[in-house]
Structure 1
Amino acid sequence: MMNRLKRIYSTYTQKQNSKHKSQKNRLSTFTKRVMVTTAAASTITLGAMAVHATENSLLGTIYHVYLNGERVGAVDDNELLDKAVNDKIDSVQKQYKDLELSIGNQVSVVPEKVFRPSADNQETIDAVVEQVEVNASASALTIDGKEVVLLKDKEEAEKVIELLKLDYVSKEDLEALEQKQAEQVVEQELPELKNGESRVLDVSIAEKVSFSNKNVDPEDVVTAKEALEQIKKGTKEAKKYEVQAGDSLGDIAEKHDLSSEELLKLNPDIEMSSLLEVGKTLNVSAKKPYLKVLVKEEVSKNEEIPYEQEVIEDEDLPKGETKVKQQGENGEKNVRTIMTKENGVTMKTEVTHDETLKEPVKHIVLKGTKVIPSRGSGSLAWPAVGGYISSKMGHRWGKMHKGIDIARPSEKTIKAADNGVVESAGWDGGYGNKIVINHQNGMKTTYAHLDSMSVSVGETVSRGASIGVMGTTGQSTGVHLHFEVHQDGQLKDPLNYLNN
């Protein structure tokens, strides 16, 4: 039996030595394991034990390393690989201190028992460190099925939503609302609001928002502040704009957050000459935020009820005069409304309570209709037959031009602008022939540079009556009428009183 075991061991040793010298092919324990069989357990000898001890000394473990399912190599010390990977994670962690980093399941190791283990430790480890990706555990904020931003965790993502809400409601209102919702307080149980009070009934997001965990590149993870800015900035959607009277290219561009060049690029098919035609439809761009915050707010406030105004004609009151019979007073009412706002813009207002606290008092005015030949109405007629304003009231040639000049009439007849009494009629230096009519209501009108006059002082004239002929007397550069208006002794612009 002993001789047989020695022969088996000798044969095995020769084969192993031959394989070792050639270095062409290593045999695994699974394909080249030597099996020593004994006749009975009680007959095992010292020689058999020596063979088994020698066999165990040739066995060892190597670790096959796979990266994303692809074999990279093998190491004989798994701890060296672990240390190298952890060192890479630590180096990245220094840059992204707040993130939870890992390599996920990219690297896998499969151990194997082999004879005479041998592995390229450094080559394998270098390949793994170079290729392995360090990932960050993050929470993806998804809006209506579209992933918008990545944050470090769900708590940070929920913080972004809260910050967005705080753009449109106060922290106190939001906390109070959350407390009511936790206590399941319904609107019907809320106390009645007093004048000037308000409360937030609901704050919600119009879109469907969800969060999901995923491993991502640390560079793609943003802070809550950065995420908030990105969500508020949103995307751009195409819109149309109809050109209005008075629009300019710059105004339209600025209104839609564009430069003039960008606006032109959006409308390449429209000729520049017709771009600003009223009614023309232009392509413009408007920002559309990713999320819309809906705020439902109840408000109670007292509002004025404007008084009505009534005018009653009075035949005993001279035409042109008015008199207050009853002074108007505004009323007051309490109005409670529920407003729905979208990103701060009121979209709907529902009146839930409208109670009159004080009735308004009507304002009544008497309007005179009695015609007095010597008294004007305050509304002036055009003092010429046709013609146009050749010079307005204002500074001219270094001095004040006190009235308006009317030139090129259809005919040269000058007419009284309103009922009144002739106060003066004659020559007045630079005015030439001049007529002043006192309209007995605080107003006086002046007619100058007349060629001739057909009325005299003290004469009562009616509105539209002929008082003279247009001319060029006095300091005049041509045939025209110089026309002035004085009200209660103050020079006034005739254009504010003329009524053709």
Structure 2
Amino acid sequence: MADNSNRSNLERIIVFAGVAVVTIVAVLLSVLVIQDTNILQAQSGAEVQVYEIYENDKKVGVVADKDAFESYVWKAHSQDISETGKLYFGEQVSIIPNYIPKSELPQDSEESYQEIMEQVTLDGTAYQVHLSNGNTFYVRSRSELLAEIDRLKDMQAVKGVDPNDLLAVDEAKSAMTLGVEYTLQEATIDINQALSGTQLTHYLLTAKTDADKLYETQAGDTVSTIAKSNDMTVDEFLELNPSISANTLITPEAEVNVTPLDQVLEFTKMEKQELVEDIPFEIEYKDDSSLATGTEIIEQEGKKGSAIVEYLVRTVNGQQVKTEQLSKVVLSEPVKQIVKRGTGSISGGTGGSTIYDGPIYTAGTGKLIWPYNGRLGFGYMEEGYGGAHWGMDILGNAGDAIVAADTGTVVESGWGGSFGYTVVIDHGQGFQTRYAHMIEMPAVSAGQAVSQGQVIGYVGSTGYSTANHLHFEVIVYGQRVNPRPYLP
């Protein structure tokens, strides 16, 4: 029984093995048949071989002639690699052969090649530029970079130089140098990252690789008005638009470049300048107790001297950054100015005036009115040519009425030395006003209470005065201040 059972199992194994072998053979035969069919179809013209182009696993195009496509790419970028001769498809680019029906065969053309080329990465050997000021960028051509640096350097050098003066132009160009150091190093990058042509110029002038800021010209535009409206100088505008000159007639509906400048390069110029300069005069003060404190009278006019001064001037990109004096030749010495400075009482002195130092009966309102409606003359100055002027002059006609700027008590009335006929009114709280150069004795007396707008005297030119006017002062706790902020 055992022998029969073993024999039966063996027979089943043999049967199963036979079936498996038959199945495998059938599968292999079917694969061979399919392959033979594809080959026969391709050979018979039913399908053709093409090349699918992928960028990062995304199909961007199909070409029938791989060699023709690659030849077009290398030719189109021949100028980009003219100095290095190296150009490659990027690592993310794949070109995979495939078979498609002959009816779907693409029509290769330069247009189709260009469309595909714009979607794939091309790596090439370019130059990485390192500037000593920290800027780094890539260029396709070493010679183009050097030529562009020279062009921009010459443009910077001749700013402000008469183009017809060829000697001056040559001297200006010779004086201009590149103010930064740079190194060039070969680097394999996406060739589109390397700058060339207008892109290179744009970057060197603006430190930007994105699109230019463009302006569409309008009727009536000129080079200067466009530059001014875009916060740049005419020279800066011309640098951005080399096809335009300062005298170019601007036509409407044209596009011009107005990208803000931020130059990557630094152009340094050292030149000597000779200037005729003034030599300031000294001021000598002489105290005079006969004059009221704060009064200053010029006894001797000062006169400036002059000298020829030679400087060594250093500019960077047209901006002066350092000046060094080389020599100085005096043409004329300055003449000292002598000023008599009053040291008398703040109230204007006692030269014939009546002083009241009793109680203040009537306080002011705190809001002044104009004491005289005339033309404004010399204003308040703590320092100035000829000395300080501690009040404001209101010009007018002799005999016109002067009124109290506010309610108060007259504390001085009469002759005030250099002030001529004078009135001082105390308004309380440490606040006083002065009215000087009246034509005659004031209309009010010391110790008298006056109301705002009351006539206190008349315009004249007494004392140290050269024309009919009212000299008006505001005195706060003994210090004369600018009257203008207190008036309406």
Structure with max Cα Rg:
1
Shorter-normalised TM range: 0.3 to 0.5
Compute the TM-score of the two structures, normalised by the length of structure 2. Answer: 0.44
Compute the TM-score of the two structures, normalised by the length of structure 1. Answer: 0.43
